[in-house]
Amino acid sequence: MADILDWTNADLNRLDMAAYEARADEMAARLKQETGAGRLPFLTMPYEAELKAQLADLEGFLKGFDHMLLLGIGGSALGARALQKAFHPGQDQPGHTGRSLWIADNVDAYALAAYMEKLPPEKTVVVTVSKSGGTIETVGQYFIVKEWMRGTLGDDWAKHMLLVTDEKQGFLRGEADGFGIRALPVPDNLGGRYSVLSAVGLIPALFLGMDTDALMAGAREVTAALADPGLDGGKLAAQSAFRLAAWGAALMDKGFAEMIFFTYIPLWASFGDWFAQLWAESLGKEGRGSQPVPAVGVTDQHSVNQMFMDGLRNKACLFLTCPNLPAGPKFPSDLPDQFAYVRGKDFGELIQAEGLGTRMALSESGVPLVEIRLGADSPRQAGKLIGLLGAATILTGWLMGINPLDQPAVELGKRLAKARMNADGLEKEKADLNGFLTADRDLREF
């Protein structure tokens, strides 16, 4: 079954998409310029052949471990978790005995202590992911886990470490060179939120036995046309990623300040968190953008869906479905009369019915909605989804006149945190921090 976008309920009659669609020639020219200059490796994937060879070489090494402890945050972790939840669900189920991926993506002393107390070091590989090699939340965990490994494994500690970082510079690159630690590069110009289909996300995927080739091939089905040197406005206008971008930009012009990502593929729920970073960090700038809101069906029909349908009319929705999910067990035939409508039916029919009902209800409540309907819940479709949403986000930013590849506000918070820890320099941040901490506070017990 094909993968399609259903625009029937996108509310196009209320939006001025034509003004953005008319800029297809401009956007095509910009894509050609940026891809030609090597600044959009998310679309061109110039590293693919080398990465496949590196992953093949790594496969034998990874077979020696039962556990992978991934140290990373934001884009260094969200994609890996989405893939884990989608394609390695057994880890969350009773009686799991296979390989396990543990993701340390926060400054959480409880969790870090538990990992070091309970994971067997001799059967654990630690993967540290930081492009810059200076992300303190990640590198800070690396310092502590490194000492744990040294204390338990002695001189063999480095054989249980794997670094994913800049190819030439940064602290972690120095660690790789100094201690002979295996390392794979994060390609230049590949920001964290766009990096899931690089070593960042594919090393954990490989460890868990996923089809990494299918993931990359799926993305290429979407991105190849956008990176084609022969791209022009007419060809770009026919691409779903561009149409989604025009829709997203036009929605914001009409005051739709929230973008719901409603997932009716339960195991794919964590793709909502991945999308939230992608959309928020790329487009939330200069007082503009729309707030991404991850939601999962059927669970959130019984919670936040009340706000979606009957709250402020400022919400649009990307609605992810797959008609070919497992049928599951059948309902018994001897159910009470009040439940007669499900007698003998497959359990899996219920989520399809719930998804249809929610989609219709949202549309009738005035929520512009585009359904992303996947033909299967496979790695290939996951790659296509990643390619589609990443490309649409980049193009939406360009149509808005902002840079979708940086994150200036996030960097300010990082500098202030370093100032609080008394890092060298950062005099302005330290002065601002002192002013904030010494100001009169309105404190009240509760």
Instruction: List, by residue number, the catalytic residues.
Output: 281, 302, 414
In angstroms, rounded to a whole number, what is the distance separating the alpha carbons of residues 49 and 64? Answer: 25
Strands 315-321 and 4-6: unpaired
- Residues in CB range of 49: below 8 A, 6 or more apart: none
Supply 21's token pair. 């669609």
DSSP H or E stretch at residue 258 = strand 258-263
Q: Exposed (0-12), middle (13-18) or buried (19+): which is 180, by Cβ within 10 Å? A: exposed
Dihedral sign computed on CA atoms, order 405, 408, 409, 413: positive
Range 120-123, long-range pairs (CB < 8 A, 24+ positions): 120/66, 120/67, 121/148, 121/149, 121/152, 121/153, 121/160, 122/152, 122/153, 122/160, 123/65, 123/66, 123/67
Q: Name the packing angle between helices 199-207 and 48-62 (round to 10°).
A: 30
Cβ contact 11:368 at 8 Å: yes
Name every residue whose Cβ is closer than 8 Å to that of residue 113 and which is 6 or more positions away in sequence: none
